[in-house]
Structure 1
Amino acid sequence: MADTSKLGFTRRGLLGAFAATVAVAAPTYSNAFGLLRGAGDIRRIRMYSGRTGESIDTIYWIEGKYIPEVMAEINHFMRDWRSNDVTNIDARTIDIMAAAHRLMDVKEPYMMLSGYRSPRTNAMLRAQSSGVAQNSLHLKGQAADLRLKSRSVSQMAKAAAACASGGVGRYSRSNFVHMDCGPVRSWGG
């Protein structure tokens, strides 16, 4: 991760900018990530995978531009861990995840349960559970299933829904939230 002091901003400055943004920004789908606008001109994502033992804590967007090398790292991190297949993760999904994380004001990284799913993996999961969509946005790299120890499913879902930028699924029995960059909608309990 980059040393923020060399980039000319501090953590306190970033948090202050974000607080001001939350107070005045109304998220819209046309600029889905209004919650991130004005946040020191950076976007950061923190996740770990219990499946692979890997973690990622990185700034992936600076001053209006995604960092291609970092996006490639995120693509690899969010790969189908069963097959090691990698696809390009839609940046809008990462933005929704990052915005929701900021709204919850947590330092804890997300535990990623599922990012990209290959067609074979999705078919296998569909055979095991009725809760897996045949045309899941996971197949397109446009969805993630996430968990936080310090926040409830309800808290996570409310933060993601506040972004008004995609789908939010509550899976309370399994203790995770689905976030995607598809049409704005919600489901589950």
Structure 2
Amino acid sequence: MTDTASGSISRRGLLRAFAATTLAAAPTYSNAAGFLRGGGDIRRLRMYSARTGERLDMIYWVEGQYIADALNEINHFMRDWRTNDVKQIDARTVDLMAAAHNLLDVSEPYMLISGYRCPKTNAMLRSRSSGVAKNSRHLRGQAADLRLASRSVNQMARAAQSCNAGGVGRYTGSNFVHMDCGPVRTWGS
């Protein structure tokens, strides 16, 4: 929580401590119906990557403001793990992911299957599967493929759809849900 260069408390460290205290003191805010409309005081994202072994538990929004350092960490976490290419992840996708997670009322972090994909990775995946779009929103940092061990694909998809904030795809055979910040639409079974 200290800035190693100066030994002082960093703004990000202070915001994390404040937000964690707020979360513990007011857990009912995590399920606020107005979450995507700015009704929540904090927004938090929890994920892990089986590919890299990394974990993320990040409060990225406090009192109506995104925390730039937190979004940068999310960008890095959701990078193309095959090439380590990093792209800015659209905050609308992050908001959708966090809102759906809150609606599911779980403490388990998402498993990130796929976040940003560079063109080379997308082309390789496309050559192996007909389910990969040529102009995928993954290429623009606007999509994530996610899994929860404690919730079914249908439960996750229903939570994301209820946010009415983007595309939601069910991939039951592969056990993951696609969420993106594009037009509101659904697919899969």
Same fold (TM over 0.5): yes
In structure 2, C-alpha distance between the alignment counterparts of 1:108 and 1:120, rounded to whole Å: 32
Do the aligned partners of 2:19 and 2:42 also contact (CA within 8 Å) in 1? no
Q: State the Cα distance separating 1:10 from its structure 2 match.
A: 4.5
Aligned-residue CA RMSD in angstroms?
Answer: 1.6
Deviation at 1:64, TM superposition (A): 1.1
Q: Structure 1 84/5 Cα, relative in aligned 2: closer, same or farther at 3 Å?
A: closer
Question: Which residues of structure 1 form unaligned runs of 5+?
Answer: 28-32
Residue aligned with 2:174, SS: coil
- Cross-structure match for 1:134: 134
Give the distance between the partners of 1:188 and 1:117, measured in 2 at CA. Answer: 21
Residue 38, structure 1, aligned to residue 50, structure 2: no
TM-score normalised over the length of structure 1: 0.88
State the partner residue of 1:30: none
CA contact (8 A) 1:18 1:38 kept: no
Q: CA deviation at 1:63?
A: 1.1
Structure with larger RCO (C-alpha < 8 A, sep 6+): 1
Aligned-pair CA distance for 1:12: 4.5
Asked whether the 8 Å contact 2:116–2:138 carries over to 1, the reply is yes
Structure 1 moving runs of 4+ over 4 Å:
4-7
- SS across alignment from 2:173: coil
Structure 1 position 101, deviation (Å): 0.2
Q: Percent identity?
A: 63
Does 1:169 pair with 2:169?
A: yes
- Contact 1:4-1:11 within 8 A present in 2 as well: no
- Per the alignment, residue 11 of structure 1 pairs with 24
Instruction: Say whether the 8 Å CA contact 1:157–1:177 is kept in structure 2.
Output: yes
Match for 2:24: what amino acid?
Answer: R
Closer, same or farther: CA 85–6 of 1 in aligned 2, 3 Å:
closer
1:118 Cα offset (Å) = 0.2
The answer for unaligned runs of 5 or more in structure 2 is 1-12
TM-score w.r.t. length of structure 2: 0.88
- Pick the structure with more helix per residue: 2
